[in-house]
């Protein structure tokens, strides 16, 4: 039996090696093939590891990497590593940045080096690599701050929460894993606005991450659907729950021929943050305080845009949001544009499944498959006119109209 298992593993490794070689050759001629090479390299690693090695990676390495990265951000290790043109530094030099104990810093730096977040260049001497340089930038370190501070406690308590509910799917946005873990009675968003550092990290990280992914304007026929036949008396492009306005700013740059109104709708505290950042000073973007659980004040808009909004809410709340928008739409002219993940029914991308767990932990919500999107949209008396996607693991664009 052992010989059969060894032979099966050897065959799998040989097949994976062959695929890596093929994808490597393809990458030499076509840089766009890099993602295929990464996928085949992961398959090779999975094939070559023993089950015990895989187990230890999951229960030892991954949790350690996460907490070490969060502590490293507080200790300014990545910023220090890249200072002075990235010259090699000792643990004492790293410790000096925050006055931390060199003994503690030593434990963090060598852990980061073992996880490829720093380059070890000698005993107790470290320099930056490509990942270090990325994490030294505040907008990327913000991803570590937000994901850790908002979610790790919920992840740690999620098994206990699910045991407590006899393993029912979380469906209440104010009584889920986040509230159970944080002894918090409100929505996770309420907690977020009460923690300014994490709130700022959220907006910085989310926008920065999207600059590395296909823009929705690259997938969706913007000129045909939005610019042509635009009525100037009903021209609004409304971004519901649009944060501090980055999406509208990007849209304005990407589609300068769209001459209609650009309206950012958000809760008062977020509009306040956008105002403080200078959004709307040039009058191109209008700022409007609005709760999307109340009737939509702008009627007959050209488009009602929601990016990563509906994945924040269970179906019941999504139906409330969509119904309010539907009531304001002009049939045959208005459309809802939903920028969110569209999960594959089979072999879903790991990025989508990771986000699904994050949303369960934070908001008792979920990512949805194409079938689930159809069911949700049609339950509101609306119709999906098209779903536009590009590459695995990215957000899609769902166009919704009144039938």
**CATH code of domain 2-135:** 1.10.10.10
Range in 25-34, 55-64, 365-374 the model is least confident about: 25-34
Asked if residue 240 lies in contact with residue 292, where contact means CB atoms within 8 angstroms, the answer is yes
The upper half-sphere exposure of residue 220, i.e. CA atoms within 13 Å in the direction of its Cβ, equals 26
pLDDT above 90 covers a percentage of the chain that reads 86
Cα dihedral sign, 104-108-114-117: negative
Kindly report, residue by residue over 239-292, the tens digit of the pLDDT. 999 998 999 999 999 999 999 999 999 999 889 989 999 998 999 999 999 999
311 is catalytic: yes
The pLDDT assigned to 63 comes to 94
Residue 345 φ then ψ, to 5°: -70, -25
Per-residue pLDDT of 137-180, as tens digits, reads 999 999 999 999 999 999 999 999 999 999 999 999 999 999 99
Question: Euclidean distance between the first and final Cα of the chain, in Å?
Answer: 60
Position 2 scores a pLDDT of: 66
- What architecture does CATH give domain 217-401? 3-Layer(aba) Sandwich (3.40)
Active-site residue identified among 207, 311, 324, 352? 311
Instruction: Give the model confidence (pLDDT) of 201-243 as tens digits.
Output: 988 888 888 888 889 999 999 999 999 999 999 999 999 999 9
| Domain coordinates in residue numbering, the chain | 2-135, 138-207, 217-401
């Amino acid at each position: 039996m052992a010989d059969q298992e060894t032979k099966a593993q050897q065959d799998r490794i040989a097949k994976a090696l062959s695929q890596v070689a093929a994808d490597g050759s393809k990458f030499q001629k076509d840089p766009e093939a890099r993602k295929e090479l990464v996928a085949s390299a992961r398959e090779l690693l999975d094939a070559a590891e023993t089950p015990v090695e895989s187990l230890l990676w999951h229960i030892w390495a991954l949790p350690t990497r996460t907490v070490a990265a969060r502590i490293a951000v507080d200790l300014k290790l990545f910023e220090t590593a890249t200072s002075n043109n990235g010259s090699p530094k000792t643990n004492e030099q790293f410790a000096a940045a925050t006055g931390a104990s060199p003994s503690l810093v030593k434990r963090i730096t060598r852990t980061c080096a073992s996880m490829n977040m720093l380059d070890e260049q000698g005993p107790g001497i470290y320099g930056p690599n490509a990942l270090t340089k990325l994490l030294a930038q505040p907008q990327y370190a913000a991803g570590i701050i937000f994901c850790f501070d908002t979610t790790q406690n919920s992840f740690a308590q999620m098994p206990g929460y699910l045991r407590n509910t006899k393993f029912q799917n979380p469906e209440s946005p104010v009584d889920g894993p986040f509230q159970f873990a944080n002894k918090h009675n409100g929505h996770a968003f309420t907690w977020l606005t009460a923690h300014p550092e994490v709130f700022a990290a959220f907006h910085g990280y989310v926008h920065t991450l999207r600059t590395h992914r296909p823009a929705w304007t690259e997938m969706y026929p913007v000129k045909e659907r939005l610019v042509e036949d635009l009525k100037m008396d009903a021209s609004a492009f409304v971004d519901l729950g649009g944060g501090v306005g980055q999406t509208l700013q990007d849209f304005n740059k990407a589609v300068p021929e769209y001459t209609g109104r650009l309206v950012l709708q958000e809760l008062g505290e977020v509009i306040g943050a956008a105002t403080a950042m200078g959004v709307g000073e040039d009058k191109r973007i209008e700022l409007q305080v609005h709760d999307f659980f109340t009737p939509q004040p702008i009627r007959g808009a050209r488009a009602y845009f929601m990016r990563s909004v509906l994945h924040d809410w269970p179906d019941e709340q999504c139906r409330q949001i969509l119904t309010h928008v539907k009531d304001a739409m002009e049939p045959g002219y208005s459309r809802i544009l939903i920028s969110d993940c569209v999960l594959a029914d089979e072999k879903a991308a790991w990025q989508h499944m990771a986000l699904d767990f994050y949303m369960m932990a934070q908001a008792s919500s979920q990512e949805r498959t194409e079938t689930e999107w159809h069911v949700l949209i049609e339950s509101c008396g609306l119709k999906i006119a098209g779903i536009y996607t590009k590459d695995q693991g990215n957000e899609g664009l769902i166009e919704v109209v009144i039938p």
